Amino acid sequence: MSQSPPTPNTDFSQSSQFIQDVRERIAKVVVGQDVVVERLLISLFTGGHILLQGVPGIAKTLLASALSKAMQLDFSRIQFTIDLLPADILGSEILDQSTSTFRTEKGPIFTNLLLADEINRAAPKVQGALLEAMQERKVTIGGDPYILPAPFLVIATQNPVEQSGTFELPEAQLDRFMLLHRLDYPTPDEERIILRRNATLGVQRRDGGAVVATEFDVIDESPVGGIEDIVAAMEAVQSVHVSDTFLEHVVELVGRTRKHPDIELGGSPRAGISLIKASRARAFIFGRNYVVPEDLFALAEDVILHRLRLNYEALADGKTTAVVLQEMLADMGSGDGANLKGQSLSPGTNGSTVTAGA
């Protein structure tokens, strides 16, 4: 999806350069996926977490790895499986026989950037342990609390196709993710570039032998910024202005999700909060010091869609949350005005039904 050209803002010039450098660095190894990079930055700058939903092989791990190296962040990856235990993520106390004392072995969650690969393959108690840590930003090992590093961003992934042997995240846990972004396949042009790049990777000599090089091997290890830049960006995001008019838009959209006849579970207050947080970060990324409706419309699907649940009648009719949400967005302004005040409005005149990927 194309984006509006960013309007440079002198206040954000330093951060804008940092963001531009990050994007360029990632683009060297990951083709396309500009929107995903934007969503990752939004999550990072707002302290939220992101769930990426897409089929395997579309560079989710590569993207997280490139992002961590570009920003000089610690990076861990956990492949979630059915036999994973909470201690495998959080850490545990281990008896040191030399001193006959317990020492704490911190788990892979103690990192800045955690890639929780295929989170829906782990048992609910493991999912719960991770999601609790995401929420509280601390873990308890052997009765002692440990604060997680800052910044702390969880990039979870799940495969939407193969659902056998998985534990679907319930709505209450999905709500912990600020964003759920649905990854698409690259466009044909992007795919040609991917194939050309891959064909030129060659082999890498190692320990007298050689391995076929991968995209991970070509990631530039030198960072373009550090935690200080991220902190500056986080502070800048907090200075982005949110107008009362924009708040009205958010209130109306969230209210519509609660009143829509096809929806059983609408957006929570956290959805509205997340929408504003994400909008501020997006405005910052695009060099604005105030949010605009474009931010809301661009982020609505990623912020709100996973918090909605259709009712039985809508499911029986073959509707999807994506279609219903697009209908609601299209009806804002031209629709029935169910949540509007001051004027009685009748159903929309355009009656458009926007199709979107489910």
Partner 1 sequence: MISWLILLPLALVFPAAPTHGSVVQEESQQATAIPVGVPRWSRDVVLGGTALKVRPADTETPLIVRIDSISPHGTDLRYDFEYYGLEPGTYNLLDFLQRADGSELGSLPALQLHIESHLPPGQVKPNPITQGDTPDLGGYRQAVWLLGIAWGLGTLAWWLSRRRTDHAAQALEDTPPPTLAERLAPLVERGVRGDLPLEDQARLELILIAIWRKRLGLQGLPAAEVLVQLKQHAEAGVLLGELERWLHSPADADKQTGVDPAQLLAPYRDLSSEDWDREWEATAPRPGTLGQGG
Q: Taking the complex as a whole, how short is the minimal distance between the CB of residue 102 and partner 1, in angstroms?
A: 52
Residue 116 or residue 240: which is nearer to partner 1 going by CB? Answer: 240
Q: How far apart are the first and last CA of the chain?
A: 16
Cis omega (within 30 of 0) on the bond before 151? yes
Residue 271 or residue 329: which is nearer to partner 1 going by CB? Answer: 329
Residue 35 or residue 227: which is nearer to partner 1 going by CB? Answer: 35
Tokens for 161?
């196709």
- Distance, CA of 286 to CA of 289 (rounded, Å): 9
Q: Taking the complex as a whole, how short is the minimal distance between the CB of residue 258 and partner 1, in angstroms?
A: 18
Residue 264 or residue 294: which is nearer to partner 1 going by CB? Answer: 294
- Distance, CA of 328 to CA of 167 (rounded, Å): 30
8 Å CB contact between 51 and 181? yes
CB atoms within 10 A of CB 236: 20
Listed in sequence order, the residues at least 6 apart from 125 whose beta carbon sits closer than 8 Å to its beta carbon are 86
8 Å CB contact between 282 and 42? yes
Residue 100 or residue 343: which is nearer to partner 1 going by CB? Answer: 343
Q: Taking the complex as a whole, how short is the minimal distance between the CB of residue 11 and partner 1, in angstroms?
A: 11
Q: Taking the complex as a whole, how short is the minimal distance between the CB of residue 256 and partner 1, in angstroms?
A: 12
Residue 148 or residue 276: which is nearer to partner 1 going by CB? Answer: 276
Paired with 211 in beta bridges are 204
Q: Taking the complex as a whole, how short is the minimal distance between the CB of residue 326 and partner 1, in angstroms?
A: 6
Q: Taking the complex as a whole, how short is the minimal distance between the CB of residue 85 and partner 1, in angstroms?
A: 40
- Distance, CA of 274 to CA of 268 (rounded, Å): 10
Report the candidate in 171, 161, 162, 139 with the shortest Cα–Cα distance to residue 152.
Answer: 139
Tokens for 256?
């519509």
Question: Which residues of this chain interact with partner 1, rule CB under 8 A?
Answer: 1-4, 241, 243-246, 248-249, 252, 289-294, 297-298, 300-301, 326, 329-330, 332-334, 337, 340-343, 345-350, 352, 354-356
